[in-house]
Amino acid sequence: MIIRFQNKLHAERKKEIKILLAKLLKTAAISSCGSHLIIENKNKKDLSGALAKIEAIEGIDFVKLSNEETYPLINKRKASPLKIKNKIFSAKNFLLIAGPCAIEDKSSYLETIKNLEKAGADILRAPLFKPRMSPHSFQGIEKAGLEIIIEAKKKTALPLITEITDPRQMNALYSHVDIFQIGARNMRNYELLKELGAAKRPILLKRAAGASLKEWLLAAEYILNRGNDKIILCERGDYSPSNTDGGINFNMALRAIDISRLPLIIDISHSTTSRKFILPLAKAAAIIGINGLMVEASVNPQTASVDGKHTLTVSGFKKLAADIKKLRQ
């Protein structure tokens, strides 16, 4: 931890601050460096209890924590491949998560997943709950879709991913899906993060639009804090009021991998929101060193109740999968 004194702080006050800090962080080694203090703190529990008090000390300009202090659990965890059924997130593999924005009816969903599996999907989207900006927009078919998921599981060995928007959905979804998705709107839903931290299922954690790297990684830290280390980060881009010129933060995605060593994918659909830009941006994403992509694709984008405008057709997805395979050879 680095602490900076306010400008022109009296030497007497600096001394008092050092004494206060020594009391708050009993096992810390404190050394002075010009207008800064460098604190090597051994006891992490001391730090979490003392931080607010340190920041409130009169005469301190700012307190800066190291990554190890900010994300102690992320920092401690060992990077390891994440196996989900027959699919493995690892440095070697590049996985494609594909499927419709929402499951709408049984026949089109089963047709969609059969075709996407053939076209190269590794994991299938199976969304039942759709958090929407307007209460008047289609909200997903919710629990009524569970029987479609049960049917789908008889037809494919691929893992299924679904978004959970409320801890009360957990019981119904738990035995039917292989990965829980935390959507952009719920990255800051701390009760949901805690609940999923206690679950024995992999979690795909999207970055909320506009969220900083720190907020995103601390959301992952919440999940780790309850014992679940099966986390996949998902960059889904920012959005602007017009929702057309937001964009993928490649820089933040790479920084997130660098600090966390967690698998990370990019949601190329919600970050792009226009079908014609998906293929070029997917190809760009495929070569920067991430672990996969999420792509919305279905047999009937033109009649979809949500996000049809950027949902790829099966042949569009097939081309994307083939182009990416070629790029990564």
Does the protein bind ligand PEP through residue 270 (CB under 6 A)? yes
> Helix 250-260 and helix 213-225: axis angle, to 10°?
40
Cβ atoms within 10 Å, residue 157: 9
Q: Which stretch binds ligand PEP (CB under 6 A): 57-65, 179-187, 190-198, 258-266?
A: 179-187
Question: Does residue 229 interact with ligand PEP by CB under 6 A?
Answer: no
Q: Is 310 in the site for ligand PEP (CB under 6 A)?
A: no
Burial of 15 (0-12, 13-18, 19+ CB in 10 A): exposed
Q: Are 267 and 238 in contact (CB under 8 A)?
A: no
User: Which partner from the list Mn ion, ligand PEP, none does 207 bind, CB cut-off 5 to 8 Å by kind?
Assistant: none
Minimal distance, residue 153 CB to ligand PEP, in Å: 19
127 scored as a contact of ligand PEP (CB under 6 A): yes
Name which of 72 and 250 has its Cβ closer to ligand PEP: 250
Check binding of 235 to ligand PEP (CB under 6 A).
no
Footprint on residues 56-115 left by Mn ion (CB under 5 A): 101
Q: Which long-range contacts (CB under 8 A, 24 or more apart) does 9-13 make?
A: 9/35, 9/59, 13/58, 13/59
Residue 163 found at the interface with ligand PEP (CB under 6 A) = yes
Residue 120 to residue 10: CA distance in whole angstroms: 67
- Closest to 284 (Cα-Cα) out of 259, 266, 262: 266
100 binds ligand PEP (CB under 6 A): no
Q: What are phi and psi of 216, to 5 degrees?
A: -65, -50
- How many Cβ atoms from other residues are within 10 Å of residue 280's Cβ? 11
Residue 49 makes CB contacts below 8 A (sequence gap 6+) with none
With CB under 6 A as the contact rule, the residue among 97, 101, 149, 217 that binds ligand PEP is 101
- Residue 127 binding result from ligand PEP, Mn ion, none, given CB thresholds of 5 to 8 Å by partner type: ligand PEP
**184/324 with CB nearer ligand PEP:** 184
- Count of positions (residues) in the chain: 329
Residue with the two structure tokens 């998902």: 234
202 binds, among Mn ion, ligand PEP, none (CB under 5 to 8 A by kind): none
Q: Which of 9, 7, 10, 66 is nearest to 40 (CA)?
A: 66
Q: How far apart are the first and last CA of the chain?
A: 44
Smallest separation (angstroms) from ligand PEP to the CB of 211: 11
Residue 183 near ligand PEP by CB under 6 A: yes
Question: Is 161 a residue that touches ligand PEP (CB under 6 A)?
Answer: no
Q: Which range, of 68-76, 172-180, 204-212, 299-307, touches Mn ion by CB under 5 A? A: 299-307
Smallest separation, CB 17 to Mn ion (Å): 51
Q: Which residues bind Mn ion (CB under 5 A)?
A: 101, 307
